[in-house]
Structure 1
Amino acid sequence: MTLKMDLSTIILLPVHMLVWLYSALSFLPWYFLTGAQGKKALAERIKARSTNGQAEGPYRSVDHFDSLATMDFPGLDTLDKLFRHAVQCFGKSHCLGTRTILSEENETQPSGKVFKKMILGDYKWMSYQELDVEVNLFGSGLAALGQQPKNAIAIFCETRAEWMITAQSCFRHNFPLVTFYATLGEDAVAFGLNECGATHLVTSVELLETKLKTVLPQIPNLRHIIYVDNKGISTAGYPETIHIHSMQSVKELGAKPENLNREIVRPTPSDLAVIMYTSGSTGQPKGVIIVHSNLIAGMTGQCERIPGLGTKDTYIAYLPLAHVLEMTAEISCVTYGCKIGYSSPQTLSDQSTKIKKGSKGDCSVLKPTLMAAVPEIMDRINKNVMSKVQEMDCVQRTLFKLAYNYKLEQIKKGYDAPLCNLLFKKVKALLGGNVRMMLSGGAPLSSVTQRFMNICFCCPVGQGYGLTETCGASTITEVSDYSTGRVGAPLICCELKLRDWAEGGYTKLDKPHPRGEILIGGPNVTMGYFRSDYNNSNDFFVDENGQRWFCTGDVGEIHPDGCLQIVDRKKDLVKLQAGEYVSLGKVESALKNCSFIDNICAYANSEQNYIISFVVPNQKKLTALANQKGITGTWEEICNHPVMEIEVLREIKEVATSIKLQRFEIPIKVHLSPEPWTPETGLVTDAFKLKRKELKNHYLHDIERMYGRK
């Protein structure tokens, strides 16, 4: 230990001197040559102001203060027009790319589980003109199969090029597209298909065989199923009333002159574009009604926050396309001439679960410049990298921490540390090495993880806030904004205001900043829910000026520069027996910084005076601790060992105390779950938001145990 300390001191002394000399010599040239002063001024400027001078708002972006933006390109007021314009502008340029599968093999893990591993080739690209042809053929083929304008057609499929071909075909022919997450349960999909009455469905062979086949008899309106894969399928065991087609055969049908020359009924801005079924954190999925003008307005606001978006950009697509964030991101990329390379969470990086060791993941091959991610994924990257740092030798670890801390201090001041970036080259290469901006959405991103991405991947992270009901668009932090914990100012397409929530203790009079429930208004606010009984909850309303508003249920505060910070959620607030209010989301967000925790769900019963928690532990960290304690056994046995629960609770209390959680906000008991929570388990949504009702039912026995009933 003494030797390590001496060695560390010996290393640090000359390095500190070198850093000091570098800073002294390079700061002034760097400051003036990179325009640092102007960037800092942009970061500190007022970004949004109240339109009426009231603390509660409405607040609008200062960049479009007099009116709300409705479209980026004059006259291009439908998704069909946007795509046709893109084809004219970028005809022969690469548009959609997919990697070829060179080989597949099964690999048995030490645990006995069998994982499918793949070796993938280069990306094969489809140009804008080629995509236009595919869209024409498929749309004409669907019409030949009886699909009518303004009648819904459903898609239940993984994120892939065929999803976007289907969407653009529907937009062109005015077929409203009904979307379902690929991880949604079969009963929920059957519910949605029956509710919307779709007669045509686009899906994949895997989803058709594993999820849909058993519930098809429950969907009487369905007549045609189109699978997107280039392989055959046996129709045995399917209802006789349903016709099954390959996508290729539908395109061939569409290529016949009598079908290809059929008159197309083009959409108008007020026509229905998408019914997007949200997986939801409670109850049955709800279909959000989105018209063309909603999506055009939302994308206008989003694209304004991505400087230089254009033909030099490459976007990696791997999040669910049935999520409004991913769908609008991809349509925006097509509009601006970017390349889109398709991926999946299982093939994203060299270390991904389906990539054979020694071969390259999608990021390494594609080298994207733009990327969207949910906080859960970025949290995992953060913990994995920091875990590897702990395994470095003393010299490497010391240099990494020194560079990390030095750059952290520079970023907090609004500056950069170019020399340090060389040390993060290997980390940056995990995502291809060229990412210039990341967009985070779906859930709050912790300040620790945001700073990690800023430092190690050398790019800004635009944290956004929005909902399906607002086309995913409400706020996004500006590239120049180096603050953390906030989600930026309103986009130029919308405005927001705060409504007092007395029960939760949030009002416009709060100090130092006004707080309240967030209400979003503008042309990006959707038309409501597909079933009218969902619309009786007053989630949507129209004001005296005819503007639509959505009541989010989230609680925020407005900072003096007009930026929003999410501080609570009405549904996450629980009143304990002694009268204290606990924000479960706040507790979870804080405790995700624990090194032993990969995911956490806090739970509280109003009849009790303390909260409890379920934790998915970090397997590497907890196993190492178990070895130190002399505890052996399977992963499940380690998680169920009472000593491990005590150790995780100990760290929870340390972290909670350090970040000054109140005593009643700190979980008193914990259950460790050996199985991770994924959308496939039904315990989290596709955006990795907790499904509290399902988690409560899943851990009911443990809840009763921790509250002393068993």
Structure 2
Amino acid sequence: MSSYTVKVEESRPAADGKPSAGPVYRNIYAKHGLMEVPTRFESPWEFFSESVKKNPKNQMLGRRQVVDKKAGPYNWLTYEEVYDTTVKIGSAIRSRGVNPGDRCGIYGVNCPEWIMAMEACNSQAISYVPLYDSLGANAVEFIINHAEVSIAFAQESKIPAILSCLSKCNSYLKTIVSFGNISSTQKSEAEEQGVACFSWEEFVQTGNLDHELPQKRKTDICSIMYTSGTTGEPKGVVLTNAAFMGEVLSMDQLLVETDKEGTEEDVYFSFLPLAHIFDQIMETYCIYRGASIGFWQGDIRYLIEDLLVLKPTIFCGVPRVYDRIYTGVMEKIEAGGTLKKLLFQYAYNYKLRNMEKGLRQDEAAPRFDRLVFDKIKLAFGGRVRLMLSGAAPLPKHVEEFLRVTCCCSLSQGYGLTESCGGCLTSIANVQSMLGTVGVPMTTIEARLESVPEMGYDALASVPRGEICLRGKTLFSGYHKREDLTKSVLVDGWFHTGDIGEWQPDGAMKIIDRKKNIFKLSQGEYVAVENIEGVYSRCPLVTSIWIYGNSFESFLVAVAVPERKALEDWALSNQETGDFPSLFNNTKARKYILDELNSTARKHQLRGFEMLRAVHLEPNPFDIERDLVTPTFKLKRPQLLNYYKDIVDQLYKEAKAKTA
């Protein structure tokens, strides 16, 4: 089996209170040294300005115009048009007394104005600070004050959220610019606090094209990106121009090496939050390559419609999105009758076998691609050639399904805001990387560090341990939090908190989370994320949160059932009543609990990892209730606080049954 990594340092034994650490590995394409950013680039602004020179008339940013509540075709701004507006915006920002090195907030859903505000900051060497569209006013207030944001761009519907906290952050914030319009009432309300408010068009008119652009340096702070994390206040991750550009160029290098590089003919579908590093890197890469970016309307009800109208060639998603697509396709196959099901399974197995023999996905079964799998490709618009997944590990069965059926290259990666996005990535046509997050990017070195308390040994024959990173695309630290920085950056190594396992081909597999482990009263340790992943394989639930503590000997859960599955069960069991009533139905709860534990046994979970009680939750865990992060990771302390009474009741019920 080929290895896609090279060892550049030997392992280190445990000493002086530090655990042992395995060898240091690099990507095979960086064996002679980590990739350097070319000297002609000092800032991501050069990515954009060079693309404008190469492709001035190419479509850059597009959105659908809505007339009478109906969305039309995509309308586009060219690279040249976006450049002119961006330079004016940059000039207008400076006219408000904002200087190089100052901070500018950007708050709202993905849209052309988001990108233009970002590039305007890049043009003036101003650090932009994304405000998560879903974090709410309290976090906005905290970030504005913590980052000392002096000007903020905001979506029209987010202006009230800023105004509501203005009295607590107007010592820093002096200018608000709407992505659209601003009302006279809002202007007056802001002016009473000493803050100026502008509509987008008003602000553009205050700028000019003749403003001289300041000198930029690789060491300048490009962005301070706040991560919500799972506990505590948001942390401001400081990313330099060098780190940001290195990430984009490393991605380009790997795509070039595998014949997948972007071109000016590509079209990218923008729907993952631009406030998150994953989509920022993707859209900057598209700009670097002169590609087109089409934005969704910002309404989940019309996401598929937007996708079908745009017909993108590059699609980025997160496991939650891909899992829904997988479930939807499988339901249609099941409903299609025995003959169609048999044909699909035969075609699937045939293509998978050929891919496992080393054939590229486009060579493995071209006839079946045309007859069977093209219909699945049409669900993405019919033109997707490159599909990427990030934010969390993609379930292996879903990844295999997408690789076989979507008629395009699929890669999943692993990264954090602190690593400026992807730091590990799988290689699309290497089938042995299925179920892994791949190999280090060409700007990063990786090693595993032993975690003795969890039984993970980085020096074992199958090395397992905490993933540690070193390289050119790491963050510089947490803004104003040297204590937090020192806790994760030790001797130049960033400790991710994730547990990985090296595979024979040099790929990394995520197997656990260092922090999400607890001990039951009988002394057994539970790696909760790992077992949640197993229970999530049960087709009757869409999401699940599992709870246990050191005072109890067993686990309980809150699960969100799959609606159709629950309704089908009710119909076949003559259970009457509307859908909400099923959530308190004792028989329904027992049915879901039995199926969850059946899934657990199938995947060989141990006895203490079985569930003793479950609560059925009608609503998905959401950001509005502060139950998940913007990347849909469970916020465990908040979940416990929200469901505390229910958890207590679950333990009482379970104990009563065994009394």
User: What TM-score do you get using the length of structure 1 for normalisation?
Assistant: 0.86
Size of the aligned set, in residue pairs, is: 632
Question: What residue in structure 1 maps to residue 100 of structure 2?
Answer: 149
- Tell me if structure 2 keeps the 8 A contact 1:305–1:476: no
Change (3 A) 1:531 1:464: same
Which of 384, 396, 400 is the equivalent residue of 1:451? 400
Change (3 A) 1:523 1:624: same
Which of 180, 184, 202 is the equivalent residue of 2:135? 184
- Tell me if structure 2 keeps the 8 A contact 1:80–1:267: no
The residue identity in structure 2 corresponding to 1:494 is I
Change (3 A) 1:408 1:123: same
Query: C-alpha offsets along residues 473-521 of structure 1, whole Å, 9 cap, x if unaligned?
Result: 211101222232100010101111111111111012333x111111111
- Tell me if structure 2 keeps the 8 A contact 1:298–1:472: yes
Q: Output the CA distance in 1 between the equivalents of 2:199 and 2:36.
A: 38
The residue identity in structure 2 corresponding to 1:299 is V
Question: What residue in structure 2 maps to residue 382 of structure 1?
Answer: 326
Which of 111, 114, 122 is the equivalent residue of 1:160? 111
Q: Output the CA distance in 2 between the equivalents of 1:688 and 1:587.
A: 17
- Tell me if structure 1 keeps the 8 A contact 2:63–2:297: no
Change (3 A) 1:424 1:103: farther
- What pairs with 1:14-413 in structure 2 (closer than 5 Å)? 44-54=1-11, 56-71=22-37, 73-104=38-69, 119-209=70-160, 211-221=161-171, 222-230=173-181, 232=183, 234-235=185-186, 236-238=188-190, 239-255=192-208, 260-306=209-255, 307-344=260-297, 346=299, 353-354=301-302, 361-413=305-357
Q: Output the CA distance in 2 between the equivalents of 1:653 and 1:412.
A: 32
- Give 1:230 deviation, angstroms: 4.8
Query: C-alpha offsets along residues 149-178 of structure 1, whole Å, 9 cap, x if unaligned?
Result: 111111111111111100000011011101
RMSD: 1.9
- Tell me if structure 1 keeps the 8 A contact 2:182–2:198: no
- Give 1:662 deviation, angstroms: 1.9
Which of 456, 466, 487 is the equivalent residue of 1:517? 466
Determine helix, strand or coil for the equivalent of 2:581.
Answer: helix
Question: What residue in structure 2 maps to residue 28 of structure 1?
Answer: none
User: What TM-score do you get using the length of structure 2 for normalisation?
Assistant: 0.92
Range moving further from structure 2, 633-642 or 138-147:
633-642
User: Once the two structures are aligned, what percentage of the paired residues are identical?
Assistant: 31
The residue identity in structure 2 corresponding to 1:625 is W
Range moving further from structure 2, 686-695 or 75-84:
75-84
Please tell me whether residue 636 in structure 1 is matched to residue 580 in structure 2: yes
- What pairs with 1:270-669 in structure 2 (closer than 5 Å)? 270-306=219-255, 307-344=260-297, 346=299, 353-354=301-302, 361-415=305-359, 416-421=364-369, 422-483=371-432, 484-511=434-461, 513-535=462-484, 537-541=486-490, 543=491, 548-669=492-613
- Tell me if structure 2 keeps the 8 A contact 1:289–1:527: yes
The residue identity in structure 2 corresponding to 1:325 is F
Determine helix, strand or coil for the equivalent of 1:213.
Answer: helix
- Give 1:52 deviation, angstroms: 2.3
Query: C-alpha offsets along residues 122-141 of structure 1, whole Å, 9 cap, x if unaligned?
Result: 11111111111011010001
Q: Runs of 5+ in structure 2 lacking a partner? A: 12-20
- Give 1:308 deviation, angstroms: 2.4
Q: Output the CA distance in 1 between the equivalents of 2:357 and 2:436.
A: 17
- Give 1:344 deviation, angstroms: 5.0
Q: Output the CA distance in 2 between the equivalents of 1:666 and 1:379.
A: 24
Q: Output the CA distance in 2 between the equivalents of 1:652 and 1:304.
A: 43
- Tell me if structure 1 keeps the 8 A contact 2:182–2:197: no
The residue identity in structure 2 corresponding to 1:578 is Q
Q: Output the CA distance in 2 between the equivalents of 1:407 and 1:669.
A: 42
Change (3 A) 1:456 1:560: closer
Q: Output the CA distance in 1 between the equivalents of 2:168 and 2:330.
A: 49
Question: What residue in structure 2 maps to residue 108 of structure 1?
Answer: none
- Give 1:680 deviation, angstroms: 2.9
Determine helix, strand or coil for the equivalent of 1:305.
Answer: helix
- Give 1:70 deviation, angstroms: 2.5
The residue identity in structure 2 corresponding to 1:201 is A
Question: What residue in structure 1 maps to residue 619 of structure 2?
Answer: 675
